[in-house]
Amino acid sequence: MAADKIQPVLSDGYYLDNFTCLVDFVFTHYKPLLSPEEQHFYNQFTALPQNGQRLYIRLLSRSGEYVRCSKINYREIENIAAALKALEQSELVSEALLENLPDWLAVFTKKELTSCLAVSVPEPEIAVALLTTPDLFGGCPLDLLVNSDQILQVQHRHSFVTYRLLFFGNLHQDLSTFVLRDLGVRKFEQYLTDTSTLPFQSRQQVNAYLQYYACTEQYDEAELAGPDSLIALSKQLPTSHTTDPALRRRIDRFTNRIARQLERFDYLEQAAVLYRNNTRPPARERLARIEAKLGNETTAFNQCLQIEQQPIDAEEKEFAQQFASRLAGKIGTVYLPPEKHNPDEITLQLPAFNLPVEFAAALHFAKYGKCYYVENSLIGGVFGLAIWDIIFAPISGAFYHPFQSAPADLHEPEFLLQRKALFEQRFDDIRNGHLSKIVLTHFYTKYGIKNPLVRWSHLNRNLITTALKKIPASDWLSMFNYLLLDIRNHRSGLPDLIEFPDDGGYRLLEVKGPGDRLQKNQLRWMRHFNECGIKHAVVLVEYTDTNLITPQNTDNRLLDSTDTND
């Protein structure tokens, strides 16, 4: 039996190393964009002794900005009293002001607060009752409670928000990203990050991002308040620096969310206004639906034709074709939707194996050659290996920090547009017979490193080398180009199995058990296979009995993620 894998152990100061990595990166690369307060925050923090730095990070990582001194206890921090003094001297923490009592009353427990009341009060009303009690500080229990402990306020939380934004490019990631790296859960590619390629180039741009995130934090409250509050919120979104593609995408996505909720409130005209200024799916789809609902079928039909001619992605195009077909009859016009592709079907009658239906079918086809369960891992994985260096090329705005598994624009039209020359050269290399060398080189040199298109646990050398040998370069290029058209949607929906019969060639097989049917993304791929002459079929499995059979021997022809990589 192989020895158990040794799990890495985090050092006591791992969080200080990670925090320092983050703020050093931002200060080094973005100092001209930082406000005086944000620069002061960095200088004060880096001047602290190590224990002071550790304690500040611990306090900053808490959910609230107020803390009771008696509750501060971290085993790895020596002499917490001295560390606190250093923090107070550096103004990174300060004593909580009495006038801010409503903000920091939550540092006390329910039991402590209840002890200050002469009568029983429901839990949600305890704080209100305490704060509205007459003669609040006239020697009452709350006065004693407040003075029983020192309450500190952690300063510069907003400064660190800006540092997080500049480092991650968003505010939903935090220092846990480093922990995943430190524990060996994720290995990241080493790509170039310098001031010439970093996304943020001005303070105005940074402020626009901060304004956007401030709006997203207000959404739940605005939704509860009603449609007028949602409309007002949409008007607070930043209008400057929307030429930044990443910010534009986020604003459009958030605007879609607001508009969709306005639809639910039956504010159709107001929702339509937001959709008209938004090209991110499903904005144009929703606009067409609204126009039809308002009785403007001709306008909705023309909207569908426009989408069909210039779709943003595959799903939007498919909607346009289906909805235009429905509207054509209502407005008395002719619309010819694309012909449906009906893939070949193979009906298999199999005993009920104690295996997933895909594996049971693979065992059947393995009698006539090699058959692999691959689903979305093979074609997408080979594509990811073939363009590895292009994915991680130093393109302006693609990488915010050293811990990304993909460029920020991977699922956007800009991904191809900004790397067009690189793709043209790579596809020329493939036409000239270099695909195997490129793919296998990246397979061996990059194994285990995060890549959004490569599922390492589902790939092995035998599968890849067989596929590279059996599938013509023209077919690989056809599938790669189709993936590039819409990576977000086309990276899924690929067939379950790939078969390499003993008499040559290959075939892609989608397996369906009783009651299962093809999904839209699967049909899209099969339509593409049909157009390009790539053999494919749908395998319909019918069980001949209900007694489960556990196969004893797969003849080594059903290869999955359990294969070795040597």
Q: What is the pLDDT of residues 224-269, one digit of tens each?
A: 999 999 999 999 999 876 678 899 999 999 999 999 999 999 999 9
Q: Does residue 201 contact residue 32 with C-beta atoms inside 8 Å?
A: no
**Which three-class secondary structure state does DSSP give residue 435?**
helix
pLDDT classification of 97: cutoffs 50, 70, 90: confident
14, pLDDT greater than 90: no
566 domain residue, yes or no: no
Q: Does residue 81 contact residue 113 with C-beta atoms inside 8 Å?
A: no
The stretch 286-296 carries a mean pLDDT of 97
180 domain residue, yes or no: no
Q: Does residue 25 contact residue 401 with C-beta atoms inside 8 Å?
A: yes
Kindly state whether residues 507 and 371 are assigned to the same domain.
yes
Single residue among 261, 296, 331 that ends a domain in this structure:
331
CA atoms lying within 13 Å on the CB side of residue 439: 27
User: Counting beta carbons within 10 angstroms of the beta carbon of residue 185, is it exposed (0 to 12), middle (13 to 18) or buried (19 or more)?
Assistant: exposed
Output the furthest CA–CA distance in the chain (Å, rounded). 95
303, pLDDT greater than 70: yes
Nearest residue to 497 via CA among 339, 409, 375, 384: 375
Single residue among 299, 331, 363 that ends a domain in this structure:
331
Letter string b/e over residues 237-267, b meaning 16 or more CB atoms within 10 A of that residue's CB: bbeebbebbbbebbbbebbbbbbebbbeeeb
> At a CB cut-off of 8 Å and minimum separation 6, what does 422 contact?
390, 393
Phi, psi of 177, rounded to the nearest 5 degrees: -60, -40
pLDDT of residue 401: 85
179 domain residue, yes or no: no
Cα 532 to Cα 328: distance, rounded to the nearest angstrom: 30
370 domain residue, yes or no: yes
What are the DSSP calls for 224-242, one per residue? HH-HHHHHHHHHHS--TTT
Kindly state whether residues 140 and 222 are assigned to the same domain.
no
337 domain residue, yes or no: no
Comparing 208-217, 334-343, 386-395, the range with the smallest average pLDDT is 334-343
The total number of structural domains that make up the chain: 3
CA atoms lying within 13 Å on the CB side of residue 493: 23
DSSP 458: G
Kindly state whether residues 379 and 237 are assigned to the same domain.
no
Cα 318 to Cα 296: distance, rounded to the nearest angstrom: 21
Cα 218 to Cα 454: distance, rounded to the nearest angstrom: 37
Kindly state whether residues 96 and 215 are assigned to the same domain.
no
444, pLDDT greater than 60: yes
> At a CB cut-off of 8 Å and minimum separation 6, what does 34 contact?
26, 27, 42, 162
The domain of 275 spans 189-331
Kindly state whether residues 501 and 356 are assigned to the same domain.
yes
pLDDT classification of 503: cutoffs 50, 70, 90: very high
76 domain residue, yes or no: yes
Whole-prediction pTM? 0.84
Kindly state whether residues 33 and 156 are assigned to the same domain.
yes
Cα 124 to Cα 289: distance, rounded to the nearest angstrom: 43
Kindly state whether residues 81 and 230 are assigned to the same domain.
no
The stretch 457-464 carries a mean pLDDT of 93
